């Protein structure tokens, strides 16, 4: 298929583009480079040994999107967006404009070009305050911050589009916690500034860029008192996108599917696995709980297996080994 990848130089988009190329798809991508480097695209080409057309373009450039989509694509994988929860609380209007208005521009350009196959990066954040684990796709949705609200809004746009025009086929993939890197060590997560997520913070500490990890809370009702999340290897996540793309025509309009492993791991377990991978003790200190952090959340991944024939294969040790290889070989990022 001829696939357009938005946010192609970002962490997940670059890994998805690589797996698409490896599977024989023709890939083009765009990004405004607000949170990424074009070097990632160069490395995807190098790893795949195949061309990957890149355009510097913003989701807010509606005319630019229409021109690009007029090239004719079979499907779009939509990763582009802002994703920092804390920043979204400070700048809710920016998040709304970029993620929601930007996605609307994209969907309008797709509609105009007659491209109605879409795979969208949603998130487990749409489950809001989790009532029981594991979380399946029927769990009620709610937003606990402006970032989460943008995911709800884009999901709703997807549901509305397919209701109005059943030719739309949309996979709303709800990711749990993506970590890891391509095993080559050439591609990885390169957050600007202080990382918001645990794994990049842990790995930047292991490589000496940061003093220590602050573990927010050891008094949660979890086995070791620290927060539990469902970490998923970014390559497994990318392969989940491929599986969704291949099964998209069997979708009844827009449908949500969890992408997680089904296993919750605590912060201390991650630190232990990361220390093992890095071959050194990663310093940490226990800090007070952070407002808004849920004690535990992990996925029920049964629907992904049933609908997409996909399941996550890589364990926490592989996630840490691959993330560490990327961090060690690229201590300052791209």
Select 80 or 320, whichever has its Cβ closest to ligand NAD: 80
Interface residue with ligand NAD, options 3, 5, 7, 180 (CB under 6 A): 7
Residue 186's contacts (CB-CB under 8 Å, 6 or more residues apart) are: 43, 46, 47, 326, 329
Going by C-alpha positions, the residue among 149, 36, 141 that lies closest to residue 92 is 149
CB of 281 vs ligand NAD, minimal distance in Å:
26
CB of 242 vs ligand NAD, minimal distance in Å:
16
Interface residue with ligand NAD, options 11, 251, 310, 326 (CB under 6 A): 11
Positions in 237-266 near ligand NAD (CB under 6 A)? none
Positions in 181-240 near ligand NAD (CB under 6 A)? 197
Whether residue 95 lies in the annotated active site:
no
Select 150 or 162, whichever has its Cβ closest to ligand NAD: 150
CB of 279 vs ligand NAD, minimal distance in Å:
26
CA distance 94 to 37: 21
Positions in 26-65 near ligand NAD (CB under 6 A)? 31-36, 58-60
- Whole-number Cα distances in Å, 43 to 18, 26, 119, 324: 9, 16, 23, 18
CB of 258 vs ligand NAD, minimal distance in Å:
11
Positions in 105-164 near ligand NAD (CB under 6 A)? 121, 123
- Single out the catalytic residue among 11, 95, 127, 147: 147
Select 197 or 327, whichever has its Cβ closest to ligand NAD: 197
CB of 99 vs ligand NAD, minimal distance in Å:
7
Residue nearest to ligand NAD (CB): 10
Interface residue with ligand NAD, options 3, 4, 5, 12 (CB under 6 A): 12
Segment near ligand NAD (CB under 6 A); pick from 127-135, 173-181, 199-207, 249-257: 173-181
296 phi/psi in degrees, rounded to 5: -155, 140
CB of 78 vs ligand NAD, minimal distance in Å:
8
- Whole-number Cα distances in Å, 98 to 25, 80, 150, 180, 290: 28, 9, 9, 27, 27
Total residues contacting ligand NAD by CB under 6 A comes to 28
Each residue 88-107 as x (binds ligand NAD by CB under 6 A) or -, in order, gives: ----------x---x-----
Select 60 or 287, whichever has its Cβ closest to ligand NAD: 60
Interface residue with ligand NAD, options 25, 83, 116, 229 (CB under 6 A): 83
Active site residues: 147
Query: Under the rule (CB under 6 A), what is the footprint of ligand NAD?
Result: 7, 9-13, 31-36, 58-60, 79-83, 98, 102, 121, 123, 175, 177-178, 197
């Amino acid at each position: 298929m001829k696939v357009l990848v938005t946010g192609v130089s970002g962490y997940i988009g670059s890994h998805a583009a690589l797996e698409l190329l490896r599977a024989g798809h023709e890939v083009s991508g765009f990004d405004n480079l607000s949170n990424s480097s074009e070097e990632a695209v160069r490395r995807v080409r190098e790893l795949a040994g195949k061309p990957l057309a890149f355009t510097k373009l913003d989701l807010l450039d509606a005319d630019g999107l229409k021109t690009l989509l007029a090239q004719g694509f079979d499907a779009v994988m939509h990763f582009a967006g802002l994703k920092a929860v804390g920043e979204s609380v400070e700048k809710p209007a920016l998040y709304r404009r970029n993620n929601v208005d930007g996605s609307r521009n994209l969907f309008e350009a797709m509609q105009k070009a007659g491209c109605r196959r879409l795979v969208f990066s949603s998130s487990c954040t749409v489950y809001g305050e989790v009532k029981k684990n594991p979380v399946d796709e029927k769990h009620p949705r709610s937003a606990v911050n402006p970032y989460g609200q943008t995911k709800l809004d884009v999901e709703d746009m997807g549901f509305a589009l397919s209701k109005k025009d059943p030719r739309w086929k949309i996979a709303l993939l709800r990711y749990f916690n993506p970590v890891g890197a391509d095993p080559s060590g050439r591609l990885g997560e390169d957050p600007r500034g202080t990382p918001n997520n645990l794994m990049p913070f842990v790995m930047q500490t292991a490589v000496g860029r940061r003093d220590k990890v602050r573990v927010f809370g050891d008094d949660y009702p979890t086995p070791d008192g620290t927060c539990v999340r469902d970490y998923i290897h970014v390559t497994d996540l990318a392969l989940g996108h491929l599986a969704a793309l291949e099964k998209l025509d069997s979708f009844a309009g827009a449908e949500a599917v969890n992408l997680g492993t089904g296993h919750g791991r605590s912060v201390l377990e991650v630190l232990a696995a990361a220390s093992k991978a890095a071959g050194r003790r990663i310093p940490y200190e226990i800090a007070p709980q952070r407002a808004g952090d849920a004690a535990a959340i992990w996925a029920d991944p049964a629907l992904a297996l049933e609908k997409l024939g996909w399941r996550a294969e890589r364990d926490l040790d592989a996630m840490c080994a691959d993330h560490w290889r990327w961090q060690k070989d690229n201590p300052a990022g791209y």
